[in-house]
Structure 1
Amino acid sequence: MKKTLISVAVAAIVSTPLVSFAQQAEQSADEKADERIQVIGSRLSVRTATEGSAPVDIISGEDLVASGFTETAKALQYAVPSFNFPTSSITDGSDAVRPASLRGLSPDHTLVLINGKRRHSSALVHLNGTTGRGSSNVDLNAIPISAIKRIEVLRDGASAQYGSDAIAGVINIVLKDNPQGGDVSLSVGQTYEGDGEQVKLHGSFGVNLNDRGAIVFSGEYHDKGSTNRAGLDPRQQYPTLPNGDLDPREDTFNRKNHHVGDAEFENTGLFYNANYQVGTGELYSFGGYSKRTTKSGAFYRRALDNRNVIEIYPHGFLPTLAPETTDVSLAAGYKFDIGEWFADASVVYGKSEFNYRLENSLNASMGPNSPTNFDTGTLIHDEMNASFELSRFFKFYNYSDLAVAFGVSYRDNAYQIQAGEPASYQDGGYDNRPAGSQGFTGFHPDSEVDESRNNTGIYVELENQLTENFQWAAAMRFEDYSDFGSNTSWKLSGRYAITDEFAVRATANTGFRAPSVQQLYFTNISTLFVNRNGELVPEQSGTFNNLSNVARELQVGALQPEESQSLSLGAVWNGHNGWSVTVDAFQIQIDDRIILSSSLIPADSPAVADALLVAGADNARFFINAVDTTTRGLDVVVAKQLDLDQWGQLKVQAAYGYNKTSIDAVNLPTILDGLQDKLFDNVERTRMTRSVPQNSGTLSFTHDYNKLKTHMAFSYFGDYVLENNAGVQTTFGGKVIVDASVLYQATDALGVRVGAQNLFDTYPDKQLPENQFNGIFMYPNTNAPFGFNGGYYYAELNYRF
């Protein structure tokens, strides 16, 4: 029996969760009994749902589908208040792969697992004004909702357990494993404004493999139209006529020339999850393929603009970024017994490819002969993880069981930048016009890299139910990296049941996040034309990695890991009649956070001037360990299930999250001392500390009555602050978003759902007039927590077999 429990635990990277309001909403009591032993964070597998020492949210796949959201990350945002997935527009590649974060920290402070195995991150680096500027994150939307059995969110530092990146917490996506049956759904909808049309077809089915295993295939096709909330452009569009009059076409020009809203995309995803009994062991494998083509706008180039060639675009043009994003993953492993020990050996490979493409553009320096479509380059990140783990139970104090696990892991990361086609970056010399493709300048051959790094980790974990009331756990991990050295992290946790209904729990841990290969090796050097005293002057500008001459001359030094110290203290109460309440407070201190600096120019200091001269560059920005921060917060979860007799059942769930980040210090190399306000200005300070709502929460009601299931949710997104380069701060007030849906289960197999997201058509506050760019950007185009599309209504047809 114990071997069986260990097998299940190790396979899923087990943990005991707190009661999850999402789990309660959809699962029966029998299902909960099965699920409770397969959750991240702990290795003891004989627990009830609220006996964990750290907070875990569980969101079932049925909950994700029932929310009506068509994107995995969006559905998770509305289920877990501490998870933030803001909307951005006109942010280059970030329009296609949006950043997401946990507990107000950076997107790359959250580790993502699939079936307990590390998931590769996107090749994209967020370079514009979004949350987590300078980071790369896992693209959750590359994983179809139809493939997901449940999502487990561990809201606690876990680097000692799982390795780098788990400073804010861990998201574990568990794939469907049903040996038979399946489902298929068709969803359609659009915004109240009549745009943003969506069609999504998704489903899954399981195949029994001779009663020795199963394989589940899942897939989706998702086509989404763009939304546009841009204001009208009041500026002069055409060159003034020779007689000084305005061109008469000014009166008929369509002044809604910008695209400020969600990008258009087409996404296809296929996943599988398989297991098969071989002797006393089990072979397992899972993986997937996702391809997405996105289209979003840059800034409009007016007909009179010197970035336009009037022979090609007589009315001006809107460059369209059309990147193609491809994610591939494959995992295989074998679980088996070695005497009293249970072993798990696995290899996981993942690859992210981000191909920048431009449509409806030109290279103005090539004149009328310029092409209008460009391949501007490709970013590639691939990752291979191999691990071997042993675990078992030992008899311990007072005949309790001590769960022991230790293992070794090896990871190899590689990063490539492939140059764009020559026309995307070359200077054609036409009429002193700006060089490079408009909207996104192509990667120059000088920017090409093909680098890799590897690391080896050794870890041990202990966990024990010492007495009937007291449970403790400890973990330690040592990792050695090929590029910056080693790191050791640890974790201690405990839970004490004061009464049968009330318990307290606490954790203390250190953590780390190794600089990603994207941050180590990303570089983009391009020629930009800058107005100097009324004359357009070409300048070599861009992002330089830490291997560059600029970084070397400024003695920036090699990037080092970010290190954290975390504490949490919580309480759990299981009352009578189905009540449960959990409250968890936390503090996370992070030293040497990596930032992407603003651009330095020769005038900033003699040292900078000398470094740029040696590098042959006119200005530069780079990644640097520069900031120490402290984040404090509170998470509250309340759940209640009411039996209404002949009126069915009502489930009530509430959750609240609070987080506040403060900057403790800005540390720079001696040669850059005095440039703190330049390298880490107020714009970046505000982005790091206030661009994410400090308060967020949800309150939802689900009523089951015969063939009807109604759902209503109230989601609160608190105020947040953005700052522009002129030093003007804007506070956007908190808003409540209401979602509602009705499901009619016509038969056991067939169901129809209709619903509305943002039922009352709520928009964020408008920007201050001085931030609206001539009235075009009425709403914040970065970091809007619930977007600025207004209401959305949809219908869905579900069939189970």
Structure 2
Amino acid sequence: MQINKTLLTMISAGVVTGTAAFSTGVFAQEQEGTAIEAEERIQVIGSRLSMRTATDGAAPVDIISSEELTASGITETARALQYAVPSFNFPSSSITDGSDAVRPASLRGLSPDHTLVLVNGKRRHMSALVHLNGTTGRGSSNVDLNAIPISSIKRIEVLRDGAAALYGSDAIAGVINIVLKDQAEGGSLTAVTGQTYEGDGEQYKVHGNVGFELGNDGHLTLSAEYHHKNKTNRAGFDPRQQYPLVDGELDPREQTFDRLNHHVGDAEFENKALFANASIALGDGELYAFGGVSDRTTQSGAFYRRALDSRNIIEVYPDGFLPLLTPETSDVSGYVGYRFDLGQWQVDASTGYGESEFQYRVENSINASIGPSSQTEFDAGTLITDEMTATVDFSRFVPFVNNSDLSVAFGISYRENSYQIRAGEEASYIDGGYNGRAAGSQGFTGFKPESEVDQSRDNTGVYVEVENMLTADFLWGAAVRYEDYSDFGSNTSWKVSGRYDLSDEWAIRATANTGFRAPSVQQLYFSNISTLFVDRGNGLQPEQSGTFNNISDVARELGIEGLEPEESQSFSAGLVFNGYDGFTLTIDAFQIAIDDRIILSGDVSPQDSAAVADALAASGADNARFFVNAVDTTTRGVDVVASKTFQFAEYGELRTQLAYGYNKTEIDDVNLPALLDGLEDNLFDGVERTRMTRSVPRNSGSIAFTHTLSDLETRLAFNYFGDYTLENSQGVQTEFGAKWVTDLSAKYRLNNQLSVSAGVQNLFDEYPDKQRPGSQFNGIFMYPLTNAPFGFNGGYYYAELTYNF
């Protein structure tokens, strides 16, 4: 069957090509992730011939509408995506420094930096924060999805397949594309409030969007939100002695001390964001622009310092104190581009800039080494990363064999990334020499001047991509991409894909590709020496613990070479069923082998080897850790998505969906620098092995039922989080059991403009299993501080009011 060339030309108009590699369609269809309204233009990542449903592609794609994101009343973008796509992980953490403010998220059980995030088909910058404290993806950075307000999102497209040959670095696990709202008129305003069953975690959020016409066919769409959330706390009571003895006896204040002194739960935060999306006809083409700003202030707790603690100054805090981390995070981004025709070619030229700033601030703290005169609030330093991108992309259709058309695309991109560390104020890191007390601001020690960096790197990429529907039943595609980096050299990746329709209902599909992830500038240049308290068998003792980047003298003396890209080989194969009155089913198996995965190593100290002692002699650090290409892994899994809509005449419509994801990561090999050979247990211990392979559920899924009857819509969802395992520093593993979390909500349309919603998340108040008694820190940390897949807040109820205009 010949594909109509005029139709294909219409479909390709306005295509975001090259780095984004998108295409558009104009059909009403049922997508893998959700239903899309008739006549809507659909962009589908991973294909240029997408005048089909997402189930017609060669790779699995979920398309999540804004309605589905907000259906359960979830107020955070990353959390909403987690409940919509089971293979996407967004675990909760507490007392993890900056990771309490910017939590890691990942796809298919891989690292957070193995997923590429796009906005309107363009690369989104990453957070400046490096996850250092025991969370999933320790040593990585990720895009802060929560910096993008839900009110600005039209839909989210998730390509669950390796795609580095299409989109460049980072797309090993898949690609998430956030499509911004683009209406030229009307809008909405929504107010949400809610709290947990326990009565904490109160939040309120006001968000909305509005569209304006620009010219004849253009638009300007503005979206904004203000979101405030109070903390939750599930800490246990602290049974320990709090005060120094008085004449050999317990201080009478022990009887009245408030023993709920730790904060274990979600951080308190205030978030403000403003996004814009615009396009206007200009000459023979279209000028477009989009971007946004967001600012978040977070407050979370560190470990409580008791009155008797040597890290406390009793004249300042007679009852002890809880240091509060109050980082300020800000993200700024903007793209501008021009799409036009050049003969038979569609051309898209664009440039964009993104910046993330993470300023560490500590309150209710002290630098004990300064003594009673120490200040109690500190600027502990700032991390900044920015990214500038410029691309020019060309695409067209050319006649091909068997009376078909061949989609051809090629382009070139240039990207520059930079990274800065700015030292904190002097009081946040100096040793004031007071009675041998610990130096630096308690809770988080400030970055020292020797940790300051201001580095950058750039890369240039070129690609060619072809795709063809050779017959009415057979689709194939191929792509190759070459990128050259200023710091480690070049990489070439490729991808081939195919799909064959066995009948009107059944189809098989498969892909094979190589991929890569360039080491991030955060991993290349992050460096810090801070005071940590470590138990070496003689109680907690202060140590100067150093994270050294690979251009440092310490790294060079230990034979640690510059970081190289991680390289992957991926395969997927799937079965698709479309039939039986709208029932769809997709089953996709995959394997992703990654060589030279970058890890943040464990500590090595002078006692471990003479080489380490020599390297650390002049560094001022008692131990060291590094970013190294150390681990080869293989991840295998399967994703299943099924959906069906039932019509019940006067009893309304019922939409059903089942989604299931399974993944298992195994470690194939560990390769360490020669001078550190024999220190595997230090550099990559059981804690890290377990974190890489078992810290997220291997099984996850959801079953959702949405019923519509006249103006009333009700939704019931059962979300499944499988078991996972964590290991402590003593080598003891704890398995946390699988849980079902039930959500129930209802929405009623009062009139054409006004609707009200109410619902409950975690209806039956489920909590993770408690930790082993030996891991509960005197019963204070009852639940795991990291990697809790659905958190440990229990049930939550909310109400929502929306005005459409």
Answer yes or no: is 1:183 the counterpart of 2:188.
yes
- The CA distance in 1 between the partners of 2:125 and 2:409, in whole Å, is 24
Distance between the aligned counterparts of 2:206 and 2:572, measured in 1? 42
Question: Relative to structure 1, is the Cα distance of residues 727 and 490 closer, same or farther in structure 2, using a 3 angstrom cutoff?
Answer: same
Partner deviation per Cα, 1:637-682 (whole Å, 9 max, x = no partner): 0000000011010000000000000000000122111111110000
Aligned to 1:104, the other structure's residue is in SS state coil
> 2:34 aligned with 1:23, yes or no?
yes
Q: TM-score, normalised by structure 1?
A: 0.98
Change in 2 beyond 3 A, CA 1:644/1:540: same
Q: CA deviation at 1:51?
A: 1.0
Q: Which amino acid aligns with 2:484?
A: D
8 Å CA contact retained: 1:15, 1:52:
no
2:266 matches 1:257: no
Alignment of 1:146-225 (within 5 A): 146-225=151-230
Task: Give the stretch that moved more between structures: 609-618 or 395-404.
Answer: 609-618
* Alignment partner of 1:109 is 2:114: yes
Instruction: Look up the SS of the partner of 1:134 in the other structure.
Output: coil
1:522 aligns with 2:526: yes
Amino acid paired to 1:20? Q
Q: Distance in 1 between matches of 2:423 and 2:267?
A: 25
Q: TM-score, normalised by structure 2?
A: 0.97
Residues 21/190 of structure 1: CA separation in 2 closer, same or farther (3 Å cut): farther
8 A Cα contact 1:19 1:57, kept in partner: no
Q: In 1, Cα distance between the equivalents of 2:24 and 2:309?
A: 61
Contact 1:411 1:454 in 2 (8 A): yes
- The reply on whether 1:97 has 2:106 as its aligned counterpart is no
Q: 1:469 aligns to what?
A: 473
Contact persistence 1:766–1:779 (CA under 8 A): yes
Give 1:30-45 correspondences, 5 Å limit.
30-31=39-40, 34-35=41-42, 38-45=43-50
1:271 partner amino acid: F
Kindly indicate whether the alpha-carbon contact (under 8 Å) linking 1:9 and 1:45 is maintained by their aligned counterparts in 2.
Answer: no
CA change 1:332–1:122 in 2 (3 A) is same
How far 1:21 moved relative to its partner? 4.9
SS of residue in 2 equivalent to 1:736: strand
**CA deviation vs aligned residue, 1:598-654 (integer Å, no higher than 9, x gap):** 110011112212221254432100100000000000000000000001101000000
SS in 2 for 1:646: helix
- Rounded to whole Å, the distance in 2 between the matches of 1:550 and 1:538 is 21
1:7 shift after superposition:
2.0
Q: Could you tell me how far apart the structure 1 residues matched to 2:618 and 2:132 are?
A: 25
Displacement after TM superposition at 1:539 (Å) = 4.4
**Aligned AA (1:14):** F
- SS at 1:270 equivalent: strand
Give the letter for the 2:799 counterpart: A
> Aligned pair in 2 of structure 1 residues 735, 30: CA closer, same or farther (>3 Å)?
same
Q: Secondary structure at the match of 2:13?
A: helix
CA distance in 1, matches of 2:517, 2:403: 38
Q: What is the deviation of 1:128?
A: 0.3
Instruction: Report how many aligned residue pairs link the two structures.
Output: 794
Q: Which residue does 2:792 correspond to in 1?
A: 788
Deviation of the 1:232 alpha carbon: 0.2
Question: Relative to 1, partners in 2 of residues 1:721 and 1:529: Cα closer, same or farther, differing over 3 Å?
Answer: closer
Q: 1:366 Cα shift?
A: 0.6
The equivalent of 2:690 in structure 1 is 686
The 2-side partners of 1:530 and 1:519 are apart by 24
The letter for the 1-side match of 2:572 is S
Instruction: State the Cα distance separating 1:468 from its structure 2 match.
Output: 1.0
SS at the partner of 2:681? helix
The answer as to whether partners of 1:722 and 1:729 remain within 8 angstroms in 2 is yes
Give, in whole Å, the separation in 1 of the partners of 2:92 and 2:621. 34
Instruction: Find the aligned partners of 1:293 and 1:497 in 2 and give their Cα distance.
Output: 52
Q: Which residue of 2 aligns with 1:740?
A: 744
Paired residues of 2:21 and 2:166 also in contact (CA < 8 A): no
SS at match of 1:161: helix
Q: Report the Cα distance in structure 1 between the residues aligned to 2:87 and 2:123, rounded to whole angstroms.
A: 21
What is the aligned counterpart of 1:503 among 480, 504, 507? 507
Gaps spanning 5+ residues in structure 1: where?
Answer: none
Matches within 5 A, 1:754-793: 754-793=758-797
> Relative to 1, partners in 2 of residues 1:572 and 1:238: Cα closer, same or farther, differing over 3 Å?
same
User: Is 2:659 the counterpart of 1:659?
Assistant: no
Which of 339, 344, 349 is matched with 1:345 structurally?
A: 349
Alignment partner of 1:7 is 2:13: yes
Conserved 8 A contact 1:21-1:653: no
Alpha-carbon distance in 2 for matches of 1:623, 1:125: 11
Which aligned pairs between 1:506-585 and structure 2 lie closer than 5 A? 506-527=510-531, 539-585=543-589
Contact 1:260 1:781 in 2 (8 A): yes
SS at match of 1:611: helix
Q: Deviations over 1:195-239 (max 9, x none)?
A: 000100000000011223000000000000000000000000000
Paired residues of 1:434 and 1:529 also in contact (CA < 8 A): no
Aligned to 2:3: none
Post-superposition shift, 1:530? Answer: 6.3
Q: 1:715–1:738: 8 Å Cα contact kept in structure 2? A: yes
Q: State whether structure 2 residue 616 is matched by structure 1 residue 605.
A: no
Cα distance in 2, alignment partners of residues 10 and 150 from structure 1: 16
- 2:140 is matched with which residue? 135
C-alpha separation between the residues in 2 aligned to 1:501 and 1:364? 71
Q: In structure 2, which of residues 278, 295, 298 is the aligned counterpart of residue 294 of structure 1?
A: 298
1:22-51, Cα deviation, whole Å (9 max, x unpaired): 422xx33444xx32xx11111113223421
Match status 1:54 vs 2:59: yes
- Specify the SS of the correspondent of 2:69: helix
CA deviation vs aligned residue, 1:494-533 (integer Å, no higher than 9, x gap): 0000101000000000000000000000001134576889
Q: Secondary structure at the match of 1:232?
A: coil
* Higher alpha-carbon deviation: 300-309 or 39-48: 39-48
RMSD over aligned Cα atoms: 1.4
CA distance in 2, matches of 1:289, 1:577: 45
Once residues 526 and 329 of structure 1 are traced to their aligned partners in structure 2, the CA distance between those partners, rounded to angstroms, is 32
After superposition, give the CA deviation of every residue in 1:726-749 in whole Å (9 maximum; x if it has no partner): 011000000000001000101011
Change in 2 beyond 3 A, CA 1:404/1:314: same
Measure, in 2, the Cα distance between the counterparts of 1:476 and 1:342: 20
Distance 2:542 2:264 in 1: 29
Unaligned runs of 5+ in 2: 1-5
CA drift of 1:67 comes to: 2.2
- Gap change, CA 1:65 and 1:534, over 3 Å in 2: closer
Aligned partner of 1:441: which letter? T
Q: Deviations over 1:155-194 (max 9, x none)?
A: 0000000000000000000000111110010000000000
Match of 1:355? 359
Structure-1 separation of matches of 2:64 and 2:536 = 55
Partners of 1:257 and 1:318 within 8 A in 2: yes
